[in-house]
Structure 1
Amino acid sequence: MGTVTGDDRFIELDDVEKVFQVRRRVGLLRRERHEVRAVDGIGFRVARGEMVGYIGPNGAGKSTTIKMLTGILTPSGGRLRVAGIDPSRERTRLAHRIGVVFGQRTTLWWDLPLRDSYRLMHRMYRIPDRRYRENLDRCVELLDLGALLEVPVRQLSLGQRMRGDIAAALLHDPEVLYLDEPTIGLDVISKARVRQFLKELNAERGTTVLLTTHDLTDIEQLCRRVMVIDHGRLMYDGSLAGLHEAGASERMLVIDLERELPPIALEPVPGVEPGAQPVLRTVKVEGPRQWLAFPASASAAPLVARIAAAYPLVDLSVREPDIEAVIARMYASGS
């Protein structure tokens, strides 16, 4: 086994816990105190320059973990370090090395134009003038913010504000970027633009990215590694393909044919072992439209090509598996 370096454990958590004390009403006048374990003994390492997906159902503990990584919350137990810094003890020092985007909250000033929010951050982080202009120009171009710079933040749509928040988080050249639902509220074109921007940021500057999302396409296009958290515990840490296999998850092909036909059935591919061929499962047929499930770890392209060659295809779409469904299957299979 090779030597573990600081770059290999740029972000490190050891048996980290976060317990909240919650008072609940019992009867008319009495209240009882209950413990809620939002994070329950999580441990992992993230290397410098990695892009990692951190996923799970609502209430699983994702945002709580990120708040501890930024120093907003103090762990109830365990050890946590980011670039060798204890976030809760040296929050100000860490702030200059991290960027954070919370999809449901903004770091921008609500009544100020977008440009003024950026000017304030320029001063707060003491960013050198030349570097500030270079970073701002690059973000404005790649995130298509030019027409929005003079618009007050309160007048921006959710998708526009998200792009503005991502730019704000990157003006000071953070080494780590935490993204909590960064594509929420974005249309298809804006999502593609943000994903491409994050790819280039990671490739060119080696920025470490921890991404929480409910959109598996975000993970598929950005992250080689995915961690699944549920009920405050880490359930899986590996590749997305491995997650699909562990959860026996399926994607869905929605096929529109020229006319109503019996359920689609594909002949086996000659020379390929039957077990190596993805199996199509008919879920539903309504007139000329058919819903066909296939293993999420399989490529849709060859299946679509075979269907198009054998059937009068008009239109199709591919639907990704739901994260909650994947996790439920993991439980059911005892993973």
Structure 2
Amino acid sequence: MTLPPARIVVEDLSKSYRIAAPARPPGAGRRLGFSLGFSRGFSLALPFAPRRRRVIEALRDVSFTIAPHTITGLIGPNGAGKSTLIKILSGILRPSAGHVRIGGLIPWADRIRHVGRIGVVFGQRSQLWWDLPVDGGFALLRDIYRVPPDAYRVRRARLVETLRLEGILDQPVRQLSLGQRMRAELAAALLHAPPLLILDEPTIGLDAPSKLAVRAFIHDLNRQEGTTVLLTTHDMHDIEALARRVIVIGHGRVLADSPFETLRATTLSGRRLVASFDGTVPPIALPDGVTRLSDGEGVLELDFDPARVPAADLVRLLDAAGGRLADISIVRPSIEDVISRFYERHGAAE
């Protein structure tokens, strides 16, 4: 059976929690009392402070639409509301207000049908059974999702080959390395061929080769099968490698929703130029829009705004300065610098 494409529509979504507030110190505020009579002429008065609660607004008026067959990054500092949003989209939580439809279904109201159409991987939690071999966990998920035997055999074989799971199928999950477990978790989430894959920190704690393997798999899954992917992570290299679009959450609100290159251009558009000279750095009169960062040992570092001073003009200026120019490199700000600056600008830094 072909499942409908995973179009995500979120409108004015809000979620608040009531939590117990810290108790008042003794003697502070109003105190209530009552008496317990133990015998004639004797009573015991006990102070009583009513339990205080406060409201935490995890999400406030969040709206966005994600088209099918795309990869979207969901980022934000700790406590921004990302996990709450993921749990609502997964059908685990019910919002306080607002509307969500994924593939035409309301996640929390149509939960049984909805979970059959999504795959979810939480980087710090396992959906496989800890003491069972990996293949035993796959078989249980096959029965839970009612995957037809022929379709399961084809799907399992493809995932085992693509994710290089042949050597660990008979191992208990508790004996796997973190990288092996994450590859197995990805396969487990995709055995029923869901049109939507939700990934919450899928590369947390992985070494560099394992991260590259997971990123390559997600990219190929989206390109070859058209799977819609929603990715939340603190690893900005995951976002840069996979997501064309970035939704930034902070203080429970959407702070930005754009292609990452647009976010970079509007947040931190400067470039850094490093010029190496054979010998000392010659005296150079720098135009407006160029800042000298360091100067010494034959190396000159400059920060410049390409909108005001084109890189080619700056290179010509250095070449004509009279020194022996040996090498030049120009780099853009790292994605970490861009996101950190954005958080600072919006008061959302961790």
> TM-score, normalised on structure 2?
0.75
CA distance in 2, matches of 1:288, 1:110: 58
2:222/2:228 contact within 8 Å kept: yes
Residues 14, 160 of structure 1: CA spacing in aligned structure 2 closer, same or farther, 3 A cutoff? same
CA-to-aligned-CA distance 1:265-314 (integer Å, 9 cap, x gap): 9999xxxxx99xx96863x78989998767899xxxx9xxx99x95579x
2:235 corresponding residue in structure 1: 215
1:66 paired with 2:66, answer: no
Which residue pairs with 1:129 in the alignment? Answer: 149
User: Who is 2:244 aligned against?
Assistant: 224
Deviates more, 1:97-106 or 1:122-131: 122-131
The equivalences for 1:180-259 within 5 A come to 180-248=200-268
Q: Distance in 2 between matches of 1:233 and 1:215?
A: 21
Query: Is the 8 Å Cα contact of residues 123 and 202 (structure 2) preserved in structure 1?
Result: yes
Is the deviation greater in 194-203 or in 37-46? 194-203
Query: Which residue among 99, 120, 138 is the counterpart of 2:140?
Result: 120
Q: Cα deviations across residues 177-201 of structure 1 (Å, max 9, x unaligned)?
A: 1011111122222212111111111
1:109 alignment partner AA:
W
Question: Given the superposition, is the C-alpha separation of residues 135 and 22 from structure 1 closer, same or farther in structure 2, using an over 3 Å criterion?
Answer: same
**Deviation (angstroms), 1:248:** 1.8
Find the aligned partners of 1:267 and 1:155 in 2 and give their Cα distance. 63
**Judging changes above 3 Å, is the alpha-carbon distance between structure 1 residues 323 and 154 closer, same or farther for their aligned structure 2 residues?**
farther
Asked if the contact 1:159–1:184 (Cα under 8 Å) also holds between the matched residues in 2, the reply is no
**Is 1:42 paired with 2:62?**
yes
User: Any conservation in 2 of the 1:249–1:326 contact (CA below 8 Å)?
Assistant: no
**Cross-structure match for 2:101:** 81
* Match runs of 1:260-271 below 5 Å: none
Deviation at 1:121, TM superposition (A): 0.5
Identity of aligned residues (%): 43
Q: Is the 8 A contact 2:198 2:231 kept in 1?
A: yes
- Pick which of 240-249 and 90-99 moved more: 240-249
Per-residue CA shift, 1:1-32, capped at 9, x if unaligned? xxxxx96x811111000101111123247442
Between the aligned partners of 1:108 and 1:169, the Cα distance in structure 2 is 10
Q: Secondary structure at the match of 1:321?
A: helix
Counterpart AA for 1:169: A
Whether the 8 Å CA contact 2:13–2:98 is kept in 1: the answer is yes
- Gaps of at least 5 residues in structure 1 are 1-5, 269-273
Instruction: Write out the 4+ residue segments of structure 1 that deviate beyond 6 Å after TM superposition.
Output: 249-253, 261-268, 278-281, 284-297
SS at match of 2:21: strand
Quote the offset at 1:141 in angstroms.
Answer: 2.0
Cα deviation code 1:89-136 (max 9, x no counterpart): 111110110000111111111111111111111111111222222222
Task: Name which of 9, 13, 16 aligns with 2:13.
Answer: 16
Runs of 5+ consecutive residues of structure 2 not aligned to the other structure = 27-48, 319-323
Q: Distance in 1 between matches of 2:173 and 2:55?
A: 38
Instruction: Indicate if the aligned counterparts of 2:281 and 2:296 stay in contact, CA closer than 8 A.
Output: no
- Give 2:186's match in structure 1, choosing from 160, 166, 172: 166
Q: Structure 1 residues 73 and 310, CA, compared in 2 at 3 Å: closer, same or farther?
A: farther
The 10-residue stretch of structure 1 (149-158 or 73-82) with the greater mean CA deviation from structure 2: 149-158
The alpha-carbon distance between structure 1 residues 223 and 317, as it changes in their structure 2 partners (threshold 3 A), is closer
CA, structure 1 residues 99+290, in 2 after alignment: closer, same or farther (shift >3 Å)?
farther
- Indicate if the aligned counterparts of 2:62 and 2:253 stay in contact, CA closer than 8 A: yes
User: Structure 1 pair 114/247, CA: closer, same or farther in 2 (3 Å)?
Assistant: same
Match of 2:158 among 118, 127, 138: 138
The number of residues matched between the two structures is 307
Corresponding residue for residue 168 of structure 2: 148
Q: Distance in 1 between matches of 2:119 and 2:179?
A: 19
SS at match of 1:19: strand
Match of 1:326?
Answer: 341
- Distance (whole Å) between structure 2 residues aligned to residue 265 and residue 137 of structure 1: 65
Indicate whether 1:157 and 2:177 are aligned: yes
Higher mean C-alpha displacement, 286-295 vs 198-207: 286-295
- Which shows bigger deviation, 20-29 or 117-126? 20-29
| In structure 2, C-alpha distance between the alignment counterparts of 1:183 and 1:291, rounded to whole Å | 34
Which amino acid in 2 is paired with 1:95? V
Q: CA RMSD in A?
A: 3.8
Q: Displacement, 1:210?
A: 0.7
Cα separation, partners in 2 of 1:136 and 1:311, compared to 1, 3 Å: farther
- Cα distance, 1:62–1:266 mapped onto 2, change above 3 Å: farther
Q: CA deviation at 1:81?
A: 0.9
